[in-house]
Amino acid sequence: MGDLARAVTACCGGGRVRVNVPLREYTSWRIGGPAQLMVEPASVEGLVKFLAWAGEVGVPVTVMGRGTNLLVADRGVSGLLIRLEKSMGQIGIQGRSILAGAGTPLSGLARTAAGRALTGLAFCAGIPGSVGGALVTNAGAHNHSLAELVREVTVVDRAGRLRVLRGPELKFGYRTSIFKEEFLVAAQVGFELEEGDPGRIRREMAEYTALRRQTQPLDYPSAGSVFKNPPGYYAGRLIEEAGAKGLSRGGARVSLRHANFIVNTGGATAADVWGLIQTVREMVWRRTGVELALEVQLAGDWGE
């Protein structure tokens, strides 16, 4: 264990601390260099301590959940990478209110809510990310998004201070939120749902899951939709009409099933994917004048 790992372990205690962890094992794209130091807090208190320590000593911090919407650089991530998953995946239910840890799998939360006959989260069925990660981009599907259901979010800032954000403070929009503007880490999320018919909820979830299997390229590693849908357009359609469907670079390929997905056909690097992203953007721009904005997030050391 290096000096940095010993320092954070001695200072913060609790949680899991590891050095030089290959992030390709923790991203849905199966791409990414090593994390210099990965920590997995065991609790909200542990998260507060890790962030406070990093702020005091000036260590850069990156946060990830289940790595389903993330392109990690081939060089990896320097400093402290905080991974929120199993250790912060608790769910508490009281009446129509749910309190979920940021590491809770979104699809698991939907199943738990359905089991309690609470409706509203069926659209999350099959979405592979965590609650915390989904908040960052206000994840949604089938004309619904998390913003409709989130009551409040307990966050931790760069200095390790706890805050509770509600309503407009969260700055939800299409694939965006306050987490895109400020360095804040979601720790717990409070949802307010409605009572519903258990059978109907399960049928909706089954329909959404089946539709996902029919329309998305689940046979190869990917990170979901690469680009946001521009106003009035579908990104996938623009990409297909520009002639980029099936285009490849190294082990990365624009999916033949859904053109807004880039899949790892085997051995793809972050550089392969990033190069393909730039090519697709350029082709769409030249044909339509529409500039595609990224939905996936970049992490790590990209150099120039």
**CA 108, CA 101: separation in Å to the nearest integer?**
12
Catalytic hit among 78, 130, 225, 255:
225
Q: How are beta strands 162-166 and 144-145 bridged, if at all?
A: unpaired
> What tokens appear for 66 in the block?
């289940």
Instruction: Examine the residue annotation and report whether 225 is marked as an active-site residue of this protein.
Output: yes
8: exposed, middle or buried (Cβ count in 10 Å: 0-12, 13-18, 19+): buried
**CA 91, CA 97: separation in Å to the nearest integer?**
11
> What tokens appear for 41 in the block?
């807090």
With a CB cutoff of 8 Å and minimum separation 6, the contacts of 142 are 123, 208
Helix axes 198-215, 106-115, angle to 10 degrees: 150
**For residue 169, is it left (φ>0), alpha (ψ between -120 and 50) or beta?**
alpha
Catalytic hit among 175, 249, 253, 281:
175
Instruction: Examine the residue annotation and report whether 222 is marked as an active-site residue of this protein.
Output: no
**CA 245, CA 241: separation in Å to the nearest integer?**
8
**CA 279, CA 292: separation in Å to the nearest integer?**
11
* DSSP SS3 for 7: helix
* DSSP SS3 for 116: coil
CB-based contact 268:277 (threshold 8 Å): no
Active site residues: 175, 225, 295
